[in-house]
Amino acid sequence: MNNTYLISLQSKLPNVGTTIFSQMSKLAQDCNAINLSQGFPDFECHPELIEGVMKYMQQGANQYCHTAGLPALREQIALKTARDHGISIDAETEITVHSGASEAIFNIIAAVVKVQDEVLIFEPAYDLYRPVAELFGAKVVPVSLKKEDFSIDWDKARSAITSQTRLIIINTPHNPSGTTLKAEDLQQLSDLVENTDILVIGDEVYEHIIFDNQAHQSVLRYPELRERSFAVFSFGKTFHVTGWRVGYCIAPTHLTSELRKVHQYNTFSTFTPAQYALADFLQKEAHYQALPDFYQARRDALRKWLADTPFKLLPCEGTYFQTVYYGHLSQEHDVDYAQRLTREVGVATIPFSPFYTQKEDNKHLRFCFAKKYETMEQAVALLIKHGDKLRQP
Ligand SMILES: Cc1ncc(COP(=O)(O)O)c(C=O)c1O
């Protein structure tokens, strides 16, 4: 091209690069390392789901779906919610199917946040919340979880609330730490928002990946929260199909109608054949009800193997992530350490610092155990074989 004119574009997200998940997965691929970094299963979903999608595609379910989601799927979601939480949800006006929980969270923030509004998040936080809130002109107010156990310091949260606070985002079970919020936490949140216009996102994508017979504490169970919350779920996590991009949001009618205004101009509707297949599969509660045991067995196996490494294991109450501490082995920055382990040991993990606004480095790494047993066993064998590489003063 002659006389190339360089168009100037001021980035709306100047501090955002490629996510740590993509970075570590790419490095794992480049180094031929075992990938325990990004949170996706390396095993297949139930064959009935695949057969279902194929069946409905062959039957011609290949056009746009209802923008709010296939009615039959929304009906099944309402039944599931009644079974799980004993509450009645209107499938017509309170459930919206999205292309993954990510799209739901993006749309919720777009629908409710205005310039200068404050969005309170708890850090370490899933890395989508901040950039999306900033994209819509909001000010993100990060509140650090307690260092010792990643629980919420409610006094700190209370003091971060101002007249500008529009939205609080909670995530339980929690990525990346693997902790869960307890009934007292949800009660604290209820008290905090009572008689205010503050809205809540309950990011509950790991609702069924919760261990040791704990009950998942959904925002839907607390009347004060239910009336102001968007509860977000992911079929990708529950049915081992993260690539299908299907999730949903439950929110009261007047909040849902605002959310749907954005959703219809974003994706309009979600992949139709998958919605039909999921509507059938959801009728079989057995799958998701077996999920806690399915993942608890993997958690226990990984913890048992990792106990033979010098890492210190933190408790894991939910999600498919195990956190380890390595500060007694090396003072390297966690991103450098994770990258070096990928290159020199052949095991990719996720460092925690990218989940903090201030890139706080507390020497924590996250291992994903949504993996075949042999994948995890091989990874830990490498960590043991190259134990000297884990120590670098
Ligand atoms: C805490 C959390 N929220 C939301 C998402 C996004 O879920 P989905 O894949 O359904 O978009 C993820 C995915 O890893 C997650 O860990």
Q: What's the longest Cα–Cα distance across the chain?
A: 67
Q: What is the DSSP letter of 216?
A: P
- Measured from the Cβ of residue 21, the count of other Cβ atoms closer than 10 Å reads 16
CA of 102 to the centre of ligand 1 (A): 6
Q: Which helix (H) or strand (E) holds 152?
A: none
- CA 340, CA 326: separation in Å to the nearest integer? 13
What would the pLDDT profile of 182-217 be if each residue is shown by its tens digit?
999 999 999 999 999 999 999 999 999 999 999 999
CA of 360 to the centre of ligand 1 (A): 22
Pick from 111, 320, 359: nearest CA to 230: 111
Query: What SS3 class is residue 383?
Result: helix
Q: DSSP alpha helices (H): ranges in 235-315?
A: 235-238, 253-266, 272-281, 285-289, 291-306
The pLDDT assigned to 133 comes to 97
- CB 380, CB 306: distance < 8 Å: yes
- What tokens does 284 get? 């079989």
Q: Any residues with Cβ below 6 Å from ligand 1, and which?
A: 39, 100-102, 126, 171, 175, 203, 205, 234, 236, 242, 247
Domains of the chain from N-terminus onward: 20-45+289-390 (3.90.1150.10), 47-287 (3.40.640.10)
Q: Report the residue among 234, 239, 295, 352 best suited for mutation to probe ligand 1: largest number of ligand atoms under 8 A from its CB.
A: 234
What local confidence, expressed as pLDDT, does residue 38 receive? 87
- Measured in residues, the chain has a length of 393
pLDDT of residue 1: 56
- Expressed in angstroms and rounded, the spacing between residue 205 Cα and the centre of ligand 1 is 6
What pLDDT is recorded for position 393?
66
Q: 101 CB contacts (<8 Å, ≥6 apart)?
A: 203, 205, 232, 233, 234, 236, 237, 247
Q: Looking at ligand 1, which atom is closest to the CA of residue 39?
A: 14
Query: Which DSSP category does 270 fall into?
Result: -
C-alpha 28 – ligand 1 centre gap (Å): 21
Q: Specify the residue for token string 């279902």.
A: 52
For tokens 């989601």, the residue is 69
Judging by DSSP bridges, how do beta strands 229-234 and 199-203 pair with one another?
A: parallel
Q: Which atom of ligand 1 is nearest to the CA of 319?
A: 16
So what's the pLDDT on residue 248? Answer: 98
Atom 14, ligand 1: residue with shortest CA distance: 39
Task: From residue 279, give the alpha-carbon distance in Å to each of 49, 74, 78, 97, 146.
Answer: 10, 8, 11, 12, 40
Please provide the DSSP assignment of 315-368 as one string: P--BSSEEEEE-TTTB-S-HHHHHHHIIIIISEE-EESGGGSTT-----EEEEE
To test the pocket of ligand 1, the residue of 25, 38, 102, 127 to mutate (highest count of ligand atoms within 8 Å of its CB) is 102
Supply the residue whose CA is at minimum distance from atom 7 of ligand 1.
Answer: 101
Locate the ligand 1 atom nearest the alpha carbon of residue 203 and give its number.
3
Between strands 165-171 and 321-325, the pairing is: unpaired
- From CA 114, how far away is CA 117, in angstroms rounded? 6
- Taking only the tens of pLDDT, the chain with its 393 residues reads 567 888 999 999 998 888 899 999 999 999 999 999 988 999 999 999 999 999 999 999 999 999 999 999 999 999 999 999 999 999 999 999 999 999 999 999 999 999 999 999 999 999 999 999 999 999 999 999 999 999 999 999 999 999 999 999 999 999 999 999 999 999 999 999 999 999 999 999 999 999 999 999 999 999 999 999 999 999 999 999 999 999 999 999 999 999 999 999 999 999 999 999 999 999 988 989 999 999 999 999 999 999 999 999 999 999 999 999 999 999 999 999 999 999 999 999 999 999 999 999 999 999 999 999 999 999 999 999 999 999 986
DSSP conformation letters of 16-65: --S-HHHHHHHHHHHTT-EE-SSS--SS---HHHHHHHHHHHHTT--SPP
**Which phi and psi angles does 34 have, rounded to 5°?**
-75, 130
Residue 67 three-state SS: coil
Distance 264 CA to ligand 1 centre (A): 21
Assess contact for 88 and 118: CB atoms under 8 A: no
Residue found by looking up tokens 């998942």 in the block:
216
Pick the atom of ligand 1 nearest to 126's CA.
Answer: 1
* Best of 20, 108, 205, 266 for a ligand 1 pocket test (most atoms within 8 Å of beta carbon): 205
Q: How far is the CA of 384 from the centre of ligand 1 (A)?
A: 31
Give the span between the Cα atoms of 3 and 235, in whole angstroms.
Answer: 50
Contacts of 49 (CB under 8 A, 6+ apart): 239, 241, 277, 278, 281
Which mutation among 206, 237, 246, 271 tests ligand 1's pocket best, with the greatest number of atoms within 8 A of CB?
237
